[in-house]
Amino acid sequence: MSLEVEARHRVGAFTIDAAFTSDGSVTALFGRSGSGKTSLINIIAGLLRPDSGRIVLDGDVIADSERRIFTPIHRRRFGYVFQEARLFPHMSVRKNLAYGRWFAGAEKSASQFGRVVEMLGIGHLLDRRPSTLSGGERQRVAVGRALLASPRLLLMDEPLAALDEARKAEILPYLERLRDETRIPIVYVSHSVAEIARLAERVIVIENGRVQASGDAAVILSQPAAVHAMDWREAGALLEGVVESHDSAHNLTVVRAGECLVRVPQLFVPPGHSVRLHIAARDVMLATVRPEGISALNVFEGTVIDLSPDEKASIDVRVQCGGNVILARITALSRDALQLAPGKSVHAIIKTVALDH
């Protein structure tokens, strides 16, 4: 798939002037709240008509202000999962799911319905009313409803933002399955590094209505532009890895990233599958000697690349570990106590449970 977006739009004093192209299966629009990412996705959906711009999907011109082309929302066949589920309160879950299917033409109905329901684990909810569902269940139904409309493109606007951590953890695996099992390209809006690290292939960093940076997720998320757009507490490193094996007795998965074997809470993907791990800098400890008798499962030997200058009371240390760069956030006091300097060999310690997104 290839998506080409170009939009200029003024709302009061705020101006959106963004253009990007993406050919990834999941494209993330990443930025702080108020950066204009929701407006941008609404422009793609057709909910917001920009002052000028164009949208082209796979060579098909969806909108072009110069050529006066504007396909109305309901003819775009772009599925949209909103931040709030927006289920129809007067319909059962089953009817909500079937709503878009009807407009898409019911030809591949029954088997597809069953597959989507099974994939999202919502079979037991079909006869319930949306008001009786939990937030996580609602959001899964909303995803199913969008999917069953047979969209050419799936738009997701912070689908997890309104949920607590436990619900997020509940839904993320479903979104990963969605990405891997359906061939529908996704545009995913989020300000969460953890979500984007797990899901996105391409990342577009949006700030003040403009594109700050764009490219491969692993590259972009470690760049200063992205770090600036993310929550300071979330800053960290992104590791590209491959699932090595599963330890089902302990509900763990071993991921090989470079020469490091990282133990993480169980991932439901087969061995050989590539995954991306986001390791927040605040979850990484450093030791100058190999620690003994410690509960943390991941201890990697490495060398310090550089240290960030003093800001606040803490500093970020970049450590080279078996072909990966890991970011550790420690206090300035620890830096002095351990006499950390570029080139010094250290051990990076990461608790497995801290990797449970």
Partner 1 sequence: MDWMALSDAEWTAVRLSLRVATVAMLSSLPLALLAAMVLARGRFWGKSVLNGLVHMPLVLPPVVTGFVLLLLFGRRGPIGAFLAENFGIVFSFRWTGAALACAVMGFPLMVRSIRLSIDAVDRKLEDAAATLGAGPVWVFLTVTLPLILPGIIAGMILSFAKAMGEFGATITFVSNIPGETQTLSSAIYTFTQVPGGDAGAMRLAVVSVVISMGALMLSEIFAAFAAKRSVTA
Residues that bind partner 1 (CB under 8 A): 45, 47, 72-80, 82, 84-90, 99-100, 103-104, 129-131, 133, 138, 145-146, 149, 155
Reported as type and span, the H/E element at residue 192 is none
For partner 1, the closer of residues 79 and 236 by Cβ is 79
**Closest among 113, 114, 122 to 87, alpha carbons compared:** 122
Return the number of the residue (48 or 227) whose C-beta is nearest partner 1: 48
Q: How far is the CB of 76 from partner 1 (least distance, A)?
A: 8
Q: How far is the CB of 169 from partner 1 (least distance, A)?
A: 22
Angstrom CA distances, 259 to 284, 293, 313, stand at 18, 23, 32
Pick 37 or 76: Cβ nearer partner 1: 76
Shortest distance, position 139 Cβ to partner 1, whole Å: 11
Shortest spacing between CB 47 and partner 1, in angstroms: 6
Nearest distance in Å: CB 157, partner 1: 11
Residues 302/319, Cβ–Cβ less than 8 Å:
yes
Nearest alpha-carbon partner for 160 in 124, 190, 130: 190
As a dihedral over the C-alpha atoms of residue 278, residue 279, residue 282, residue 283, rounded to 10 degrees, the angle is: 130
- Residue 124 sits at φ, ψ, to 5 deg, of -80, 0
129 or 210: CB nearest partner 1: 129
Q: Name, in order, each residue with C-beta under 8 angstroms of 12's C-beta and a sequence gap of 6 or more.
A: none
**256/277 Cα distance (integer angstroms):** 11
Using only C-alpha atoms, what is the Rg of the chain?
Answer: 22
CB of 53 to partner 1, least distance (A): 19
**Identity of the residue, 9 or 138, whose beta carbon is nearer to partner 1 in the bound complex:** 138
CB of 357 to partner 1, least distance (A): 26
- Name which of 72 and 270 has its Cβ closer to partner 1: 72
Q: Give the C-alpha separation, 174 to 177, whole Å.
A: 5
Edge-to-edge strand list for the sheet holding 153-157: 78-81, 153-157, 186-190, 26-30, 202-207, 210-216
Nearer to partner 1, 73 or 287 (CB): 73
Q: How far is CA 193 from CA 56, 71, 183, 190, 230, in A?
A: 27, 33, 24, 8, 7
- Residue 187: CB minimum distance to partner 1, A: 13
Smallest gap, in angstroms, from Cβ of residue 166 to partner 1? 20
Cα 279 to the chain's mean position, in Å?
14
Pairing of strands 210-216, 52-57: unpaired
Nearest to partner 1 of 103, 268 (CB atom): 103
CA dist., res. 6 & res. 20, Å (int) = 7
Closer CB to partner 1, residue 37 or residue 198? 37
